[in-house]
Amino acid sequence: MSVPIRVAVVESHPATREGIVTALNLNGRFDVVVSVPDAQALVASEVSAEVCLLDLEVDGSRESALQVVGRQPTVVWTDREDWRFRTAAFLLGVWSVLPRGKVHPSSIEEALLHASRREVHLSPQLASALLDAATRGVFELTATQLGLLREISYGTRLSLAVERARLTPDGFLAERDGIVAACRSADPEELGPLHIVPMAPIREPRFVGSPTKRHLDVLSRLADGHRVKDIAAEFGISVRTVAHHIDNGLKEVSGVTHASAHERLLLALYYMRRHRSPEVLWETRLRGLVEPDQRVHPGVGKNT
């Protein structure tokens, strides 16, 4: 049997903290070696852990958070989903951010496992914002770093983007650290969507049909970077049913009936309005996939 992964849990609410600790210890793959109410307490404890689950909202000290992130790969979970918070978390060097209200327990476990394997999550939305900022000259990146952000902003799976860049896992982490360091030199406000200048007047995506609420919920999770099996766990349905909702949902919003996994993700990013530069995405990736007139018909989501 493999040795359990040593975990530090930082959570301000005692009952929630106890629940997380119990769930992780019962899992068998984890050993919670310390659980504390805030980052300062974790820094003071000097306990060694392999990964950390951090409720960043409880901590008012950026210095303490930096020390926590510097010690071990850190997964943040939070009630906040605004771009300022996600950008701030990225600048701290966290490995992934989980929305507290939408996360299934298995998602926490998976995120900690990925962090223990030194696998970093970078969303297409954040990659797009950083790429736009670099293009505007807010900070300088290398050609390799720009290429990585471009691939990820298109929705390319991270492992494939790393492979295309001909990087080793450690090489990718070094490039990612370089991107973080470059971003820290910029005003955080320059990294947000308010400063993105569209290439053309943006037209809001319109649905060609009438997707159900479940269709939209599933497509939104897909666009936010959740894996199919995690979506299935969250809604208590099978993986096959999730795939069925994705196919039918994309048909209702775009009219597309046949698409690769990569194309499905791009369609979800566009129609769920998650992409920072929708006109660029449309012109460069989707124009040949979706019929032009299928973008102008209004659609409404059913409540069923």
Q: What is the pLDDT of residues 165-219, one digit of tens each?
A: 999 989 999 999 999 999 988 888 777 665 444 434 445 678 889 999 999 999 9
Query: pLDDT at position 241, please?
Result: 96
Are residue 219 and residue 142 in the same domain, yes or no?
A: no
The pLDDT assigned to 68 comes to 85
Residue 206 lies in a domain: no
Question: What is the pTM for the complete model shown?
Answer: 0.60
**Mean pLDDT on 127-134:** 84
92: pLDDT strictly greater than 80: yes
Q: What are phi and psi of 199, to 5 degrees?
A: -75, -25
Give pLDDT, residue 198.
42
pLDDT band at 96 (very low <50, low <70, confident <90, very high): confident
- 129 with 109, same domain: the answer is no
- Among 81, 116, 151, identify where a domain stops: 116
d(CA 300, CA 281): 23
At residue 153, the pLDDT reads: 80
Residues 134, 48, single domain; the answer is: no
> At what angle are helices 83-92 and 124-135 packed, to 10 degrees?
80
pLDDT computed for residue 101 by the predictor: 67
The region of weakest confidence among 4-13, 19-28, 115-124, 207-216 is 115-124
Domain count, the chain: 3
**How would residue 234 be classed by pLDDT, with cut points 50, 70 and 90?**
very high
pLDDT tens column, 265-297: 889 988 998 876 777 777 667 867 776 544 443
Q: Is residue 38 part of a domain?
A: yes
User: What is the full DSSP assignment across 19-43?
Assistant: HHHHHHHHHSSEEEEEEESSHHHHH
Mean pLDDT value across residues 31-53: 91
**pLDDT for res 65:** 81
238 occurs within a structural domain = yes
Question: What's the pLDDT at 202?
Answer: 47
Question: 278 lies in a domain?
Answer: yes
Query: What is the DSSP code (8-state) at residue 204?
Result: P
Has residue 60 got a pLDDT over 70?
A: no
Sheet holding 96-99, edge to edge: 30-36, 5-10, 51-54, 74-78, 96-99
CB 286 within 8 A of CB 266: yes
Last residue of a domain, one of 116, 144, 172: 116
Full residue range of the structural domain in which residue 133 is found: 124-195
In a domain, 302, yes or no: no
Identify the pLDDT of residue 249: 96
Q: At what angle do helices 213-223 and 228-235 cross, to 10 degrees?
A: 140
Most trustworthy range by pLDDT among 160-164, 212-216, 253-257: 212-216
Whether residue 200 lies inside any domain: the answer is no
Facing residues of 6 across strands? 31
Specify the CATH number for the domain of residue 266: 1.10.10
User: Among residues of the chain, what percentage have pLDDT more than 70?
Assistant: 85
In a shared domain, residues 223 and 287: yes
pLDDT at 17 exceeding the cut of 70: yes
Domain co-membership, 219 together with 255: yes
Q: Is position 225 within any domain?
A: yes
